[in-house]
Structure 1
């Protein structure tokens, strides 16, 4: 009987599960959608039980023997539950949720400096600590965690309350130099230590299955990674200068660094030693494509890209998808979306093309902040679009390599699991890539497109600043 690792990739809008053998071959796979709700402007929630049900639905049937489980999970989203019953006591508060933005702004100035020094991040509603503060104030939860904690809790029949170090590093509560929950940060955000899970290294083991429909008891949960970190692991981006961009609902741009740097750094994974990375997060990339498709009355993003492909350019139209403000490198949560540069000659195709361009421009904004960016490797569902990847290469002015498997998060987690089980891997070295070379006629033409984008971004950030000044 063939042995396999069951890799579960729990993302923002769907859950994927694949059975992967020791060579990296995918033996079987499945997926299930996960709904999002927006009960108020700026609020983004998911049903914790529906999320768990999507995991069970995604697990494929196979004759392979499952020798271990690997998890790759969406980051920063939080959920709380009752310690005695194991039942969720409120919704999952999604990473896109900005209900705590005002509370974050009201924190003492010293908190942000403390957060940066201990975590490499900044105070922002995207991260977990403000959401946890809200959750504990509004519900009866006496155990809380990020999505990896919730899945480990459910997979082990409620026996384990654990989290993985890379996921913990996104909470604003975990000191990534000391590799421990920070008492100072817990105090700053009003989070009691007993409600939090124990933090473990990424490959330290997270209990065994118990009472999971469709799975035998006793299967070890071998490895856990946050989804963007798992994609970097799967891409084989382990050296400075190698950059990966994950194109999902939002986007993550990451590059490894030799040691912890206090600004923009995150803990990618923790094995025998910590691996750090510089990272920037985009709030709306794939979400911007989905929004534009809906605006134009198109059934899916694929139809949007097809429409965008019918015109050679956006003809000066620029979409800034700041639907929940802007993430890195602008970090303006009060900025609002704008569609600029339209004329009487603007068509639906130009607007579609502007949406595709917006995703690539946002990646460029982040890559341009990195000290070294010799190679960009792309992954995520949107990389199937040759138009988007060619646009990315054109705007960057350098080649973009796209993995033969667009969804690398599950395979990255599976590879860490197999390595932990003692099997040699090296899958990234054997992976093939499509390479997109820059095709823009001149550097001046590229600079002109980037300048149009920068002007549009400046207009929404300046407008947001003006609105804030007016309120004062």
Structure 2
């Protein structure tokens, strides 16, 4: 019987499930969007029960659509939106509050207090991160401090917490397994990436009881099995859950970036650029962060990472808030109808700026408008802004890693855009390689699970599965591109510090 591997790909706006065969081909998939909750400007939440129900439904539908014997599924892998934080009752499984999403900026004030107390150096040294509202630690603290009764319940040992990987694995195993993989743990601002353990001092600094936290585990090992009697998943009971990684390291793995110096970028709601560092993390001097990419057979691989908070979400803004386009392909068509942005620049800092700028108080800006500016120019400027941000990240990476860049492997929803990837190649002056299999995040989770289950036996087998669909090479004049980057830098300066810190 041919083995299959299922990947749960739980993202910021939808929950998906994809089944892969041994050749790395998609056999079936299903996807369900879920509600986005914006209680206040800059706040973003999800209902954890929506996350679980949509992911469970997607898995059941993907298995049904594949027309296979469910027992031929050798393993399940999990990948997830990182940093998003959930607290729940360890007995009932009921969340105590909505999930606080990675995009949420409500804890900026807590971060300012930590910086003022001089905690920044310890955070950077131990966790590889910078103090920012992006990461999970301050989100846990906020829920403990602001939801009535929650801190007392946590101190009595009644609650558990975790990122979305923990939440899904806990539910899949019927509440028997409370773990988080090293890649997700290393995005909490509470995890020592050198010792691979929770840091007691940082937990104490944030007032987080360590009994809340899941057990950190490797990325390719058996965590548990699907429990009996989960509605809709009855036929999957007993199947091993044995791979897990946050969405970005999963994509790095799925892209076959197994050698130090290889770089990938995922164009999703945000943009996430990762470089394989090998077995030694780098302390960044350019506003980037180091995290665990994966741990296989006790060997840790680190990644240098930069995160753009708003990329595909800027295209959604054109569609949903401004009503300038009906869908993403229309954005491409309009952008292709003009030779450039006509001098228009968009800085999509809707929820602040991530690496390498790190300004929690930046906000979005549109600059360079003239009476001749059209919606086509605005669409082109939004695509430009995505490419500019990735370019800034990669230049920072080259500086930190002390090695030249040779190319960029890409994936994610917006990577289907030919014009975006051509702009990216022009701005970077490097080849941009789009794979034939663009579902690299899900495949990364499947590959980690499949390695543990014996579907694949080594990284060479996985590398051989990757194929390039198209390689984009620089075409536009280099001097023109450099001038555009200079204007972009000035625009970013104008967007910084737009709102004042809360006192």
1:170: which partner in 2?
187
- In the TM superposition, what whole-angstrom CA distance separates every residue of 1:42-84 from its partner, at most 9, and x where no partner exists? 1100011111111122121131421211001110001111011
Q: Does 1:270 align with 2:315?
A: no
Q: Determine the C-alpha separation between the residues in 2 that align with 1:270 and 1:109.
A: 33
2:364: which partner in 1?
337
- 8 Å CA contact retained: 2:81, 2:164: yes
What are the within-5 Å matches in structure 2 for residues 20-419 of structure 1?
20-59=20-59, 60=62, 61=64, 62-64=67-69, 65-107=72-114, 108-139=116-147, 140=150, 142-210=159-227, 211-212=229-230, 213-214=232-233, 215-258=235-278, 259-263=280-284, 264-272=289-297, 273-294=299-320, 295-371=322-398, 372=403, 373-419=405-451
- 8 Å CA contact retained: 1:293, 1:303: no
Q: Does 1:424 align with 2:444?
A: no
| Count of matched residue pairs | 467
Q: Determine the C-alpha separation between the residues in 1 that align with 2:73 and 2:193.
A: 33
| Structure 1 residue 468 displacement after superposition | 4.0
- In the TM superposition, what whole-angstrom CA distance separates every residue of 1:195-229 from its partner, at most 9, and x where no partner exists? 11111111122211113222432111011111100
- In the TM superposition, what whole-angstrom CA distance separates every residue of 1:372-408 from its partner, at most 9, and x where no partner exists? 3212000101000001000000111111001112221
Could you say what secondary structure the match of 1:370 adopts?
A: helix
| Structure 1 residue 327 displacement after superposition | 0.4
Q: Determine the C-alpha separation between the residues in 1 that align with 2:73 and 2:337.
A: 46
Could you say what secondary structure the match of 2:238 adopts?
A: coil
> Could you tell me the TM-score, scaled by structure 2's length?
0.90
> Could you tell me the TM-score, scaled by structure 1's length?
0.96
Q: Determine the C-alpha separation between the residues in 1 that align with 2:14 and 2:94.
A: 22
- In the TM superposition, what whole-angstrom CA distance separates every residue of 1:242-264 from its partner, at most 9, and x where no partner exists? 11001110111010113022332
Could you say what secondary structure the match of 1:416 adopts?
A: helix
Q: Determine the C-alpha separation between the residues in 2 that align with 1:428 and 1:11.
A: 25
| Structure 1 residue 34 displacement after superposition | 2.0
1:437: which partner in 2?
473
Q: Determine the C-alpha separation between the residues in 2 that align with 1:156 and 1:349.
A: 50
- The farther-off stretch of 63-72 and 124-133 is 63-72
Q: Determine the C-alpha separation between the residues in 2 that align with 1:296 and 1:32.
A: 23
- 8 Å CA contact retained: 1:243, 1:254: yes
- 8 Å CA contact retained: 1:4, 1:19: yes
| Structure 1 residue 421 displacement after superposition | 1.6
Q: Determine the C-alpha separation between the residues in 2 that align with 1:187 and 1:261.
A: 26
Could you say what secondary structure the match of 2:291 adopts?
A: strand
| Structure 1 residue 279 displacement after superposition | 0.5
- 8 Å CA contact retained: 1:17, 1:55: yes
- 8 Å CA contact retained: 1:118, 1:262: no
| Structure 1 residue 298 displacement after superposition | 2.0
- In the TM superposition, what whole-angstrom CA distance separates every residue of 1:305-350 from its partner, at most 9, and x where no partner exists? 2211111110110000011110000000111111000101101100
2:484: which partner in 1?
449
| Runs of at least 4 residues off by over 4 Å | none
Q: Which runs of 5+ in 1 are unaligned?
A: none
Q: Determine the C-alpha separation between the residues in 2 that align with 1:378 and 1:349.
A: 25
Q: Determine the C-alpha separation between the residues in 1 that align with 2:417 and 2:330.
A: 11
Q: Does 1:12 align with 2:12?
A: yes
| Structure 1 residue 416 displacement after superposition | 1.5
Q: Which runs of 5+ in 2 are unaligned?
A: none
Q: Determine the C-alpha separation between the residues in 2 that align with 1:168 and 1:152.
A: 14
